[in-house]
Amino acid sequence: DAGVIQSPRHEVTEMGQEVTLRCKPISGHNSLFWYRQTMMRGLELLIYFNNNVPIDDSGMPEDRFSAKMPNASFSTLKIQPSEPRDSAVYFCASSLADTYEQYFGPGTRLTVT
């Protein structure tokens, strides 16, 4: 099993630029979660999908953030335009529909200057 795959692992960009983070969940998992981790706020759920459909996006900070899941094996989290306060580690996690245990990817460390 390859586990949850995220890319890129590190991203450095300038304020105002568009950033796209990518995630490939574990094959067969039909729930996908995007989290953000910062020292100040800890781990926060941004959005989660079930069978490719967004179920809860109440954690998405503002309209600059958007997430899509066009198919069962791929999801993106986009920030446009990016701001320095978006600097954080972004994690993707996946799980099976009938379980609560989540499997996390290695994360993308985003730095916005």
d(CA 32, CA 53): 10
DSSP secondary structure letters along 57-81:
-TT--STTEEEEEEETTEEEEEESS
Hey, what are 29's tokens? 């998992």
User: Which of 93, 94, 110, 112 lies at the binding interface for other proteins (CB under 8 A)?
Assistant: 93
Residue 16 vs 61, nearer CB to other proteins: 61
Under the criterion CB under 8 A, does residue 54 sit at the interface with other proteins? no
User: Which of 53, 62, 70, 100 lies at the binding interface for other proteins (CB under 8 A)?
Assistant: 100
Contact by Cβ (8 Å): 102, 95: yes
Interface with other proteins by CB under 8 A: which range of 13-21, 22-30, 79-87, 100-108? 100-108
Under the criterion CB under 8 A, does residue 1 sit at the interface with other proteins? no
